[in-house]
Amino acid sequence: MGKYIIEGGYSLSGEIKVQGSKNAVLPLLAATVLNEGKTYFHNCPKILDVYNMLNILTAIGCTIKWDKDVLIIDSSNITTHIIPEKYVQMMRSSIILLGSVLGRLKTVKISFPGGCSIGTRPIDLHLKALKQMNVDIKDRHGFIECSTNEIIGNKVSLDYPSVGATENIMLTAVLSEGITTINNAAKEPEIVELQEFLCKMGAKIEGAGTDTIIIKGVNKLNSVEYRIMPDRIVAGTYMCAVAAAGGEVLLKDVCKEHLNSTITKINEMGCFIKEFEDSILIKAPERLKSLDLIRTQPYPGFPTDMQAQLMSCLVTADGTSIIAETIFESRYKHVAELVRMGADIIIDGRIAVLKGVNRLNGAEVFAEDLRGGAALVLAGLGAEGKTIVNNASHILRGYENLEKDLSLLGANIKYSSD
């Protein structure tokens, strides 16, 4: 499972480049199934979730090639509508193939993804929408089987602005008959990225980034070359790394517009932040300030994917902070580990109350999920002594160069595959 070994107490300085976005590239990889041609990706992050998605694409008939750093996917021949179960169990977000394989073949079979370490994660909203688009859905023996003679556009209203459901509906509707309107759509930047990518392939979509998205079905899509946008959560994680460890760092290749809510909170903690065209300078104060109440919310609110990393900063801030996790019901797995390092945190349902301590102590801890794992690494940077973060494979799902980047900035961190 691998581990990170961190000797705390080294402040960070210098500059690093932020990788391409995980949550943007996964739906784009799924979307390549739709174009019956070639897709060339630049800036694709080399992370476990991407490799898993590429394994699935290979298993259903795509050919995958890397030409130096350019990822080339040829989806001319899709040989099966069945998504191999082992990959779906490994990566919940493979549910995004529901829409694209259905769009391409008019049939798809995928095992029910089930829960994961951050919550039960149902897909009822995805399925309800597909039913409204003339798709027949059978849910039996742990598998979902979708089929249709023709996908027919419809007005779909989401009960909640789910990112995955919005993406699956867009992917299903691209090659449909008629017009699909998604009301109460998710507004995340990754949705805008998916619209831009699909439109570059010849789709007709507008409205992404607002709560109404309109998709006019087309008959055919074309080959495409595309550069993946920077990862806003990795950028936010690195900003929190500076806040937790101290120092001054320039983050290059960031999209600052995607980071507004994160920048606001990091700024309120007392960090100095200067924004440039596509980079951000962050400087940590002597001691961080606590925050009154942080609520995780759909975009443009504060992202749930940044909750754990922010918590790693606030546990040593001056004063008491409160976090309300409103998106996922059990996204506090990192709390017990932070407490093991000396943090003072009380959880009551979805509320976490954090009383800032002077300093954390290094300890052996266990990552339970991707962002919670990254948060433990950040805690280790600022802690006194040695921290070992076990189960590092969770972190490799989403971070391409965590220990290389942090080492470059002066942290004392090593990765061991043992």
Residues annotated as part of the active site: 116
Q: Parallel, antiparallel, or unpaired for β 293-295 and 272-275?
A: unpaired
The interface with ligand UD1 within residues 273-302 (CB under 6 A) comprises: none
Q: Tell whether residue 51 is a contact of ligand UD1 (CB under 6 A).
A: no
**Which residue, 119 or 300, has its beta carbon nearer to ligand UD1?**
119
Closest residue (Cβ) to ligand UD1? 164
Query: Contact with ligand UD1 (CB under 6 A): which of 93, 148, 223, 262?
Result: 93
Please identify, among the stretches 105-113, 119-127, 264-272, 315-323, the one whose residues bind ligand UD1 according to the rule CB under 6 A. Answer: 119-127
**Using CB under 6 A as the criterion, what x/- string covers residues 137-166 for binding ligand UD1?**
-----------------------x-xxxx-
DSSP letter (8 states) at residue 195? H
- Based on the shown chain and the rule CB under 6 A, indicate whether residue 119 belongs to the binding site for ligand UD1: yes
Whether 29 and 258 have beta carbons less than 8 Å apart is answered as: no
Rounded least distance, CB 364 to ligand UD1, Å? 27
Q: Which of residues 323-352 bind ligand UD1 (CB under 6 A)?
A: 327-328
Q: Angle at which helices 189-200 and 163-173 pack, to 10 degrees?
A: 10
User: What 3-state DSSP class applies to 51?
Assistant: helix
Length of the chain: 418
Instruction: State whether residue 30 is helix, strand or coil.
Output: helix
State yes or no: residue 305 binds ligand UD1 (CB under 6 A).
Answer: yes
Long-range contacts of 137-142 (CB under 8 A, 24+ apart): 139/112, 142/111, 142/112
Residues 176-205, interacting with ligand UD1 (CB under 6 A): 186, 190
Element (H, E) at 110: strand 107-111
Taking CB under 6 A as the criterion, the residue among 3, 81, 104, 126 binding ligand UD1 is: 126
27-51 exposure pattern, b = at least 16 Cβ within 10 A, e = fewer: bbbbbbbbbbbbbbbebbbebbbbe
| Count of chain residues binding ligand UD1 (CB under 6 A) | 21
Q: According to the binding rule CB under 6 A, does residue 228 interact with ligand UD1? A: no
**Strands of the sheet with 143-147, listed across from one edge:** 107-111, 143-147, 136-140
* Cβ atoms of residues 249 and 238 within 8 Å: yes
- Of 327 and 413, which CB lies nearer to ligand UD1 in the complex structure? 327
Contact between 304 and ligand UD1 by CB under 6 A: the answer reads: yes
**Residue 418 and residue 415: Cα distance in Å, rounded?**
9
Among 16, 33, 53, 125, binds ligand UD1 (CB under 6 A): 125
| 114 binding ligand UD1? (CB under 6 A) | no
Candidate residues 124, 136, 150, 344; the one interacting with ligand UD1 per rule CB under 6 A: 124
| Of residues 93 and 180, the one with the C-beta less far from ligand UD1 | 93
Shortest spacing between CB 188 and ligand UD1, in angstroms: 6
User: What are the residue ranges of helices labelled H in 159-259?
Assistant: 163-173, 189-200, 232-245
Minimum separation from the CB atom of position 71 to ligand UD1 (A): 18
Between 160 and 272, whose beta carbon lies closer to ligand UD1?
160
What binding mask, one character per residue, do residues 356-395 give for ligand UD1 by CB under 6 A, x or -? ----------------------------------------
H helices present in 224-301, as ranges: 232-245, 260-268
If 0-12 CB within 10 Å is exposed, 13-18 middle and 19+ buried, where does residue 176 land? buried
- Residue 181 has phi, psi (to 5 degrees) of -115, 125
CB of 349 to ligand UD1, least distance (A): 14
Positions in the binding site for ligand UD1 (CB under 6 A): 23, 26, 93, 119, 121-126, 160, 162-165, 186, 190, 304-305, 327-328
